Amino acid sequence: MAIENLFDSASSVMTVVSFTTFVGILWWTFSRSNSDFDAAARLPFADDALDYPAEAEMNLAKEHHHG
């Protein structure tokens, strides 16, 4: 009998802990600023100069020459 009460109590506690964790994850996800995600979304395009060095150099030269 006592062990059944212990399991019932543990089950209730784990349900509350799990629900609290779930709500915490939801809060953490939706409360973050979008600037972090925007910066991460631009990362694949940040190294275009490394992928196409000749083209980047030509664009830089054009900007310098026209500017």
Q: Is the pTM of this model over 0.85?
A: no
Residue pair 48/56 in contact by the 8 Å Cβ criterion: yes
Give the span between the Cα atoms of 19 and 13, in whole angstroms: 10
Query: Which pair of tokens denotes residue 17?
Result: 């802990």
Return the structure tokens found at 53: 């060095």
Res 15: pLDDT: 94
Q: What is the pLDDT of residue 52?
A: 65
15-57: pLDDT as tens digits:
999 999 999 999 988 887 667 777 888 888 877 656 666 666 7
In whole angstroms, give the CA distance from residue 46 to residue 67: 23
Split at pLDDT 50, 70, 90, the class of 64 is low
